Each structure stands twice: as C-alpha cells, then as structure tokens.
C-alpha cells in the first residue's frame, strides 16, 4: 500500500493520563464507578423518551438523540482507557488511532451541531410560539437531524484526510490517553504549520463561532422571556439555564483544546478527560434532572417494570 511506504510508524504508544501508579488506580476506580452509574442513566433516558407517547415534542426528540450521541461518544475513549490503566504497554495501531480520531470528531461535531439545533428549537418555542408547530414539524426535525449527522461526518473526514497525508517515521509516543489531532500532528516527520492552521480553522474556529452564536441566541431568548407570565417565564428560564450549562460544559474544554496552536499545556490531559469521558455522560442527565416531564415519565417506567 502507498500509505505503508510513506508511513513507517504502524502503531503508537500512549503515555497515558499519568505515570503515577497510585493516581492511575484512583482515576480507574473513579471513572469506572462513574461510567457504570451514568451510562445506564443515559440509556434509561433514551428508553423513556422512546416508550412514552407523551414525550413526542421536538425538545424530547432532540434530548433522546443527545443521550444517544453522548453515550456513543463515551464508548470511543473510556473503555480503552480503563483497559490501558491495567496494561503495562498502552499500544494502539495506526489504523486504530485514525479510526478513534474519526469517530471522536464525527460524534463530537454532531453533538455540537445538535446543541445549535436545540437552541433554534427553544428560540422558536419561546419567541415564536404560534409558528412553532409549523416550523418544527416532524419532517423538519428529521431533516435537521440528518443535517447535523452529515455536518459531523464532513468535519471529521476533513480532519482525517489532512492527517492521512502526513508521513510518520518516528518517534511514536503519544503524550495522551487517546488519539487526537494535536498529539498526532506533533509526531509527523514534516513541517506541520499549514496543517495545524487548517486544523485550528476546521475545529477551533468552528467551535468558537458555534459557541458565540449559541450565547447570542440564548441572550435573545432570555431578553424575550421577560415579557412572559410568571409561570411561562420560570419554565423558559429553567430550560434555557440547563441549555447554557451544557453549552459551557461542551464548548469550554473544546475551545481550550482546539482554538490555540498545538502546544502542550499541563492541564491538557485533565481537560481532555472531562471533555471525552465525564461531561458527555453528564449532559443528558443534567437535562433530565431539570425536566419534570421526563422525570415523571421515568418514574412511571421504572415503577411499571418493578411491579411487573
């Protein structure tokens, strides 16, 4: 294969989150416990929304997709990271690394676009309630869902295509616990300035623009909410506050990682841990705990199965 002629490196050695055995054991236990508790919660959210005929509004349709995306996203890094904690050598093949990188950006960008769609949904529901049912019809919701999946796929393909053209001839040690663009690019045996610039534009600039656009949209929504009745205002404020929390959890680490030149910082690995493992699993749970309808439906579902 042509790539094998240009690419001497066939595998990468992951240096991991930390070199301390005690710290690795502590993180392993914490992540495993968190994973085993929160992941079933995400799956329960999906099951609840799918099984309750009363949760058919676009908000719940997108929330179910958010839970699916976040659960899928957590599978990319967390299981392998837990296995690597117990391994002396943390090795990933070149193809495995590229595959992990592809799905990381595919699902990550898809979730980013989903949050934009959810902001648009709340804008229409709060600012244009009379047109809401017409604009956010089931057909439109499915079209938006397809668009965000295609957007995530396109974004990820660009990332992978740029990396596949880089020659890797050693060293092959990745200073992280998973494969991501900043660390992989550093190992290329060529000048990567132009590629880094393109990567920052593709990931960093896109993330920053979406983040600023979301903040602006929620500022408009909150301004319009002032004229609502006290009950409607409280519900709108609760929903928007939840969305804003998720936006900061999702975009804060991504902006820190992707909007700067690819230089290593001491906090990079910790930020990456929260960005790839912790926050994705928390997002749907935060939504659910602040949504009375989903909580009530979940309780009914659990009580029904316990009785049966």
The edge-to-edge listing of strands for the beta sheet with 91-93 is: 91-93, 11-14, 173-174
Distance between CA atoms of residues 123 and 117, nearest Å: 10
Burial (0-12, 13-18, 19+ Cβ within 10 Å), 126: buried
Residue 262, Cβ neighbours under 10 Å: how many? Answer: 18
Distance between CA atoms of residues 219 and 263, nearest Å: 33
Distance between CA atoms of residues 169 and 8, nearest Å: 5
- For a pLDDT cut of 70, what percent of the chain falls above it? 94
Phi then psi for residue 146, to 5 deg, are: -60, -40
Distance between CA atoms of residues 213 and 217, nearest Å: 6
Indicate the helix (H) or strand (E) that contains 108.
helix 94-127
Of 251, 252, 244, 237, residue with least CA distance to 217: 244
pLDDT tens digit string along 186-240? 899 988 888 888 888 888 888 999 999 999 999 888 888 876 666 667 777 777 8
3-state percent helix, strand, coil for the chain, nearest multiple of 5: 75, 5, 20
The confidence score (pLDDT) of residue 306 equals: 65
DSSP code, position 255? H
Average pLDDT of the residues in 99-107: 95
Tell me the pLDDT of the chain averaged across its residues.
85
Give the range among 15-19, 55-59, 91-95, 142-146 with minimum mean pLDDT: 15-19
How many residues does this entry show for the chain? 308
Distance between CA atoms of residues 237 and 222, nearest Å: 7
Alpha-carbon Rg of the chain, whole angstroms? 21
Distance between CA atoms of residues 97 and 100, nearest Å: 5
Query: What are the structural domains of the chain?
Result: 11-302 (1.20.1070.10)
The confidence score (pLDDT) of residue 2 equals: 41
Indicate the helix (H) or strand (E) that contains 62.
helix 58-85
């Amino acid at each position: 294969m042509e790539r094998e002629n240009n690419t001497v490196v066939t595998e990468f050695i992951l240096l991991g989150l930390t070199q301390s055995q005690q710290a690795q054991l502590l993180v392993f236990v914490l992540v495993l416990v968190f994973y085993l508790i929160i992941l079933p919660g995400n799956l329960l959210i999906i099951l609840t929304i799918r099984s309750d005929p009363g949760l058919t509004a676009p908000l719940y349709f997108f929330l179910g997709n958010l839970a699916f995306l976040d659960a899928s996203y957590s599978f990319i890094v967390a299981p392998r990271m837990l296995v690597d904690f117990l391994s002396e050598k943390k090795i990933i093949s070149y193809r495995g690394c590229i595959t992990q990188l592809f799905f990381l950006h595919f699902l990550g960008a898809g979730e980013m676009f989903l949050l934009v769609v959810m902001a648009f949904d709340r804008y229409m529901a709060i600012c244009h309630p009379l047109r809401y049912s017409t604009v956010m019809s089931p057909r439109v919701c499915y079209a938006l869902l397809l668009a965000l999946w295609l957007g995530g796929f396109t974004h990820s393909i660009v990332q992978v295509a740029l990396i596949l053209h880089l020659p890797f001839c050693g060293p092959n040690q990745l200073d992280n616990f998973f494969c991501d663009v900043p660390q992989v690019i550093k190992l290329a045996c060529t000048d990567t300035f132009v590629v880094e610039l393109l990567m920052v534009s593709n990931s960093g600039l896109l993330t920053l623009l979406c983040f600023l656009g979301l903040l602006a949209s929620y500022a408009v929504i909150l301004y319009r909410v002032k004229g609502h009745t006290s009950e409607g205002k409280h519900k709108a404020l609760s929903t928007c506050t939840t969305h804003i929390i998720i936006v900061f959890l999702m975009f804060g680490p991504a902006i820190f990682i992707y909007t700067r030149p690819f230089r290593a910082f001491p906090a990079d690995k910790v930020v990456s841990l929260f960005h790839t493992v912790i926050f994705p699993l928390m997002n749907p749970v935060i939504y659910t705990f602040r949504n009375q309808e989903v909580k009530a439906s979940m309780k009914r579902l659990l009580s029904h199965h316990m009785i049966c």
